[in-house]
Amino acid sequence: RYSSQEKWNERFRERVSSVELYGSALEKRWWRRFDELVRYKAEVGNCLVPRRYSPNQSLSNWVSSQRRLYKNKKLQVNVKSSLDDERIEWLNDLGFVFDVHEYSWNCGYEELAKYHEQYGHCLVPERCNENQRLGDWVRNQRKAFHEYKLEGNRANKTRRNICTAKMTPERIEKLESLGFIWDVKEALWFSKLEKLKEFKKVYGHCSVPYTYEADQQLAFWVCNQRALYKNFLLGTSSTMNVDHVKILNSLDFVWDAQEDRWLERFEQLREYKEKFGHTVVPQRYKENPQLGRWVTDQRVMYRAFMEESMETRSVVVQRRIDMLNWMGFCWNAMSQRSRRNRN
């Protein structure tokens, strides 16, 4: 408020001299403690006197008393307090912290803002080697946020609860202005989903191969979604939820990896037929050895299926046979080769 520290000091000395001459004993005691606080700040650089301050425990007790008086004054507006407006003004000018919790929170927020400016995000690791205190603070904000959500914004909260709440709408707004993520796991899930969408744009499907070298983490994630989905259907513990299932279904995500591989080979066989005019793929087909083996497996599957009774036949296998028949699949490769040789 003042143009220079010197002017403030001069005004302060005048006020103390006036109190020493004309003030009451209580008033003199208050200003002596304030003078001790001024000296403490000159030495340490702040007014945050520890609760257990052995060099001057009386000063520590006085500081705590000022905070308590200030809090009571705010809660009970019309109640007379020994901490009048003039004293509050002097304490504010000195940089006194009336609400330590709020001050501590703001310090944490400033550190997070610097972190965001440096790295472009607020995903501070819980074990942050360069600033473990910030990592702990960020974790506490998420915990406080979830507790706040569980409590709900009840209209009948007392004034005391509002003042002492760890998380408030104002704090939420400030953190979200930095792009703060409340649920890290959910955020990571959606980041992988975006990569899956990019994969689909390039390849036309969501079946990321397990050996996909371009992004091995995405391949693991896709595999994990299938495992989680299976647990979800069984009703066992799973992080998969209805919303995730709907989102993945909208991308035509294939939940059964075996079925996905079968369809992949079926498509390769269709392309083979378009090229050569038949489905008799050699077992040692150099261009695609896996396709040659797969075609042989389909014939083995067909023979086993036909030997089963009608009651025990698999619906899945029947559907696959129907699809192969639609393509004009040759179930007897020997007779097909003989016919081609005669021709």
* pTM, rounded to two decimals: 0.58
What pLDDT digit, counting tens, does each position of 136-150 carry? 999 999 999 989 888
pLDDT: which is higher, 56 or 209: 56
Write down the pLDDT at residue 258: 81
Write down the pLDDT at residue 341: 52
Grade residue 338 by pLDDT with cuts at 50, 70 and 90.
low
SS3 annotation, the chain: CCCCHHHHHHHHHHHHHHHHHHCCHHHHHHHHHHHHHHHHHHHHCCCCCCCCCHHHHHHHHHHHHHHHHHHHHHHCCCCCCCCCHHHHHHHHHHCCCCCHHHHHHHHHHHHHHHHHHHHCCCCCCCCCCCCHHHHHHHHHHHHHHHHHHHHCCCCCCCHHHHHHCCCCHHHHHHHHHCCCCCCHHHHHHHHHHHHHHHHHHHHCCCCCCCCCHHHHHHHHHHHHHHHHHHHHHHCCCCCCCHHHHHHHHHCCCCCCHHHHHHHHHHHHHHHHHHHHCCCCCCCCCCCCHHHHHHHHHHHHHHHHHHHCCCCCCCHHHHHHHHHHHHHCCCCCHHHHHHHHHHC
Grade residue 52 by pLDDT with cuts at 50, 70 and 90.
very high
Decide if 96 contacts 47 (C-beta within 8 A).
Answer: yes
Crossing angle for the helix pair 242-250 and 216-234, nearest 10 degrees? 130
Tell me what the mean pLDDT of segment 254-278 comes to: 87
pLDDT: which is higher, 105 or 319: 105
How far does CA 279 lie from the centroid of its chain? 50
What residues contact 60, with CB distance under 8 A and at least 6 apart?
49, 50, 51, 52, 53
Tell me what the mean pLDDT of segment 282-310 comes to: 91
Give the angle 11-17-20 at the CA atoms, nearest 5°: 145
Tell me what the mean pLDDT of segment 262-275 comes to: 89
Q: Looking at the predicted structure, is the pLDDT value of residue 2 above 60?
A: no
Write down the pLDDT at residue 79: 65
Measure the CA–CA gap between 117 and 121, rounded to whole angstroms.
Answer: 8
pLDDT: which is higher, 291 or 212: 291
Grade residue 289 by pLDDT with cuts at 50, 70 and 90.
very high
